[in-house]
Amino acid sequence: MNTLAGKRVLVVDDEPLNLKVATRMLKKLSMEAIPAEAGQAAIDLAISEHFDVVLLDVQMPGLDGFETAKLMRENDIIAPIIAYTAHALGSDIERCLDAGMNEHIAKPVLLEDLEATIRKVLNNVK
């Protein structure tokens, strides 16, 4: 049984190609991917709709991923947030956690790694 089937993922990235790739990967996992191209759009969606997971790019113009995650938490968004970024330095990972993100995954990501990270954050929610 696929426990990820039907789970809703808010995918936030300012790069259309990255959104497309992440969306395709999530669909392969039978998950529903809802894209947002900016931090404020993601916050608005997260407030108005239910998401099981948020996949959040850190480097974005305007509200970056750190500020977006912080504002989501301030607005009582409890869905696990996975930082999805090309930056995998220890200090960046620490900043992600300090901003309210639950986990970190580096781009480019393999399908198996994305699946494992999503399963990990969902298991920690229970």
**pTM to 2 decimals?**
0.94
pLDDT tens across 39-75, in order?
A: 999 999 999 999 999 999 999 999 999 999 999 999 9
- Structural domains in the chain plus CATH codes: 8-119 (3.40.50.2300)
- Write the CB contacts of 94 (distance below 8 Å, at least 6 apart in sequence): none
Confidence of residue 93 (pLDDT cuts 50, 70, 90): confident
Report pLDDT for 82. Answer: 97
Tell me which residue of 66, 121, 58, 64 sits closest to 84, measured CA to CA.
Answer: 58
1 confidence band (pLDDT: 50, 70, 90): low
Mean pLDDT estimate for the chain = 93
Q: For residue 126, give the amino acid letter.
A: K
Among the listed ranges 28-37, 52-61, 77-86, 90-99, which one has the minimum average pLDDT value?
90-99
